[in-house]
Each structure stands twice: as structure tokens, then as C-alpha cells.
Structure 1
């Protein structure tokens, strides 16, 4: 694929964005750990002590820088080009977690990272050129077409079901609940970011788009979606291994964003069937790599209980990790529901 000037700018800015975002996962998780150790209440069970932790705010600032770069990238290049480059943030966060957070990355996990990069490269190579947009009202017409309205309605329904039905029941044992909410809201935020970024780009070019109410509506949608994403991303990061949250979030977010972009902006219109199939094959490679990363979670959990490098925790302490309310309960060494929490505290006490 021959890159246009805008596509090249979007490509380079998206890479820098992924570097900042990948680093922010690590910084924020260290802040979450410090806050949990100081307050005794983790973000995954409703604690907000991390808001008083400077390290968490440093991670948030790093993520904001990355998101701003991402915002700029969407203004220059189509979502099906920018979004898959988030695979780089997976590599940054997974490798950094291995060395900094001591979250062991299995050899198969390394292979999974390589597959994520390879699949993303295939997607980027076969990404379409950006269709020229002349006004925010043109984007509004795309956003109000029946097919995209159906997608938006489906996303809202699914988010409510996940947040109010599944999250209380299995949000702390199934990584797909919190990451699912982040990904669904993320797909809407990207469409709004794309619209808002294009509006600002046109404004800077001398075509003022700030006079249209559609621009401010997209701004409101961006703010709402981002706040929701940050809330549930904090819960996911605090509850599950970073090397697992990052790739799963990437795959779900990327697939939903590409779907939303294809529906709203009709990115695949004018592309050959070969390019579309190649792009889909690239995504399958990314998905396969993510599955490998997910499998390594079980290897790491089982090895943490079989090893002799850690001293056993007291029953009452382990129980508080599982139920999150400080009440005593019977301690079972092999309890699946609290294995992640036990491993986390062991890492804190015995780095």
C-alpha cells in the first residue's frame, strides 16, 4: 500500500502513542499496588485510594499524552490503520511487566507478542486510504445512518448488561467483563475522536467547525466514553495480570473499533477482496498471539503455587484478599478465585 502524506503522519504518531500508552500500564499498576498496600482496599473492589497516589497520576499523565497522540493520529489516518498499531503497546507493557512488576512472561507469551506484531503489520500493509471529509456535518450524516445507529444501540445495551449484571457476579474472576466494557465504550470513543479530530483539523485549515453543534456533541461523547473506560480499565488492571489485560483489551478494542469504522466510515469501500481478506488474516494472527498470551496466565499461576520461593500467607490475610471486606473466611491453598490476588501480594512482599 502506498502511504499518502496524511497516512504517514498518522502512522508515525500512532507508534509514539503506543509507546506512551504501553508504559502507562506499568506506571499505573505500580501506583495501584502502592495505594492498595497503604489503604488495604483495592481498586478492583471499589477502592479509590489510588487517586491520592502520585505514581498513579504519573501513569495517568503518560496515558493522556499517549491518548493525545492517538487523537492526532486519528485525525490524519483511518481507524483501520491507526488502531492495530496498539499492538506495540502490548509489547511494551508485557515486556516491562516482566522486568519491572515481576509478572513472569512465559516463552509462549513472547511468541504471542511476536505474532501480535506480525499480524498488525499485515493489517497496516493492507489498510485503506483515508476518504476525504470536508465538514463535521458530513461525519454526522455517517453517524446517523441506520446501520451505525444499530451498532451504537447494541453497544449501549451490552455495556449495561456487563456493568450491572455480570460485573457484580464474575467481574473479579473473568477478565472479559471489565475489558469488554472498556472495549465497547472504546469503539464509540474512537469514532467520536475521529470526528472531533477531523473537525479540529478542518478548523485549523480555515474551515471553522466549532460553530456546529455536532462538534460539541462528539466532544461530550468522547468525555463520557473516556471516563467510563478509565474506571473499568483501573478495575481490570488491579484485578488481573497486566500481561493478560493488555492483549485481551487490545484484541477486543481493535476488532470492535474496526467494525465500527467499517460501518460508519465505510473504510473497505473501494478495496479489493484480496486486501480485505489479507487484513482479516492479519487480525487472525493477532488473535492467535493473544490466545497464547492468555494461556501463559495459567502457567504462571500454577508455577507460583508450586514454587518454594514464597512463604505461605496467613489464612485471614488471604481471605481478605478474596472477599475484599476484611471478614474472616476459611483459607484454602488452591482456591482458584483468589490465586491472582495471592500471587500479587506475594510479589509485593517478596520481590
Structure 2
């Protein structure tokens, strides 16, 4: 109950103090944000790090270290979110009468989304097949959310219009969600005591017979 309450309180805090999004009028505007030096550096750093992890560390430590698969999913997931946001804006404007699919930038964002999603889903399935789901989910949630917030700050600069108090409040809300998630993970087996489990007898064990009739 406490873990659920922490997750709800943290999510509510982030939503109430979330920065206002920019008014995007075209995909070309998103493309300009994506081609700024800060995001370009992040984009190539992510691709290089993911390539190193896949070709060097996955064969050696993929089956023993959870962080290998989750790291790939989280890094690619941060790029996926930015690409999905651009494609979503293109769809919204196109349905509103402003066709955005006539620009090549829209198709580049679409290709990035497809590539990142396929790679992300592939290694997320490997992580779920190899490790306990109750461990994979909270670790992936924390890493994915952290990187997404970080790359959003770089690309969209959402926090430029916020003060120190609002930023600190959002960080506290995020930490609260992390605490609630890990508390849920740590207490997932609470209440499963041996007192409530019926004994199992094999054919070689004597079956207890009550003397009362």
C-alpha cells in the first residue's frame, strides 16, 4: 500500500509541476531542435555506446548482468521517445490540414522510430527471458525515465522557463516514484508464509491418519 501511494504521489507531483511544452508549428521546427549541437552529440554518443555494448558486452555479460540488456533498451528508448514525439506532432498537424509527410524530415523521424523500437523490443524480450520480471521492470523504468527526462532537457529545453523550486519539486516527485517502485519490488513476496501452504506428500512418505472417527 505504501509503495502504491508513493508512486501515485510522485506521478501527481510531476504532472502538476511539469513544464509547458513549446508550441510546435511544423516538423521542420522539431528538426531544427534535433539538429542542434547538444542533441547531435547525445544522439551519436548513444549510438556508439549501444554498439559497444551489443558487440563487446552482450556476448560476455548479457546472461549474467541485467544492466547490459536494460542499458541498451533505456538508451534506445530515450531516442524512441523523441522520435515518437516528432511523428506524433506530424500526425496531429497533418490531420489538422497541414500535411507534414511531404517533408523528408518526417520520414527520417519515422525510420528512427522503427529502428529504435525494433532494437529496444528485441533486447527487452531477452532481458525478460533471462532475468526475473519483477527485477527487470523497476530497473528499466528508472533508467528509461531518467534518460528520457535528460534528453528532453537537451532537445526541447523544457526547463528553461522554470524556476529552481519547480525543478526541485519535479526531481523530488521522480525520486518518490523510484522509491515506490523499489518498495513494491522488495515487498512483492510479503504475506507468502509457509503457514498457509499445504504439505505435499510423496509416495514414499507415510500418510498421516487421524485416530478420530
Same fold per TM (> 0.5)? yes
Within 1, Cα distance between the matches of 2:200 and 2:120? 35
- 1:206 corresponds in structure 2 to 97
Point out where structure 1 has 5 or more consecutive residues left out of the alignment: 1-109, 312-351
Deviation for aligned residue 1:123: 1.0
TM-score by length of 1: 0.52
- 1:249 corresponds in structure 2 to 140
Q: Which has the higher helix share?
A: 1
Deviations 1:242-281 (A, max 9, x none): 2221121111111111111111011112112211110011
Count of aligned pairs: 197
- 2:66 corresponds in structure 1 to 175
User: SS where residue 32 of structure 2 aligns?
Assistant: helix
Deviation for aligned residue 1:165: 2.0
- 1:146 corresponds in structure 2 to 37
Matches within 5 A, 1:49-64: none
Matches within 5 A, 1:1-351: 111-293=2-184, 295=186
Point out where structure 2 has 5 or more consecutive residues left out of the alignment: 202-213
User: SS where residue 129 of structure 1 aligns?
Assistant: coil
Give the direction of change, closer, same or farther, for the CA distance of 1:310–1:159 in structure 2 (3 Å limit).
farther
Give the direction of change, closer, same or farther, for the CA distance of 1:271–1:255 in structure 2 (3 Å limit).
same
Deviations 1:168-192 (A, max 9, x none): 2222222221111111101001100
TM-score by length of 2: 0.83
When the two chains are superposed, the root-mean-square deviation of aligned CA atoms in Å is: 2.4
Structure 1 consecutive aligned stretches of length 4 or more whose deviation exceeds 4 Å:
293-297, 307-311
Query: Greater relative contact order: 1 or 2 (C-alpha under 8 angstroms, separation 6 or more)?
Result: 2
Give the direction of change, closer, same or farther, for the CA distance of 1:285–1:204 in structure 2 (3 Å limit).
same
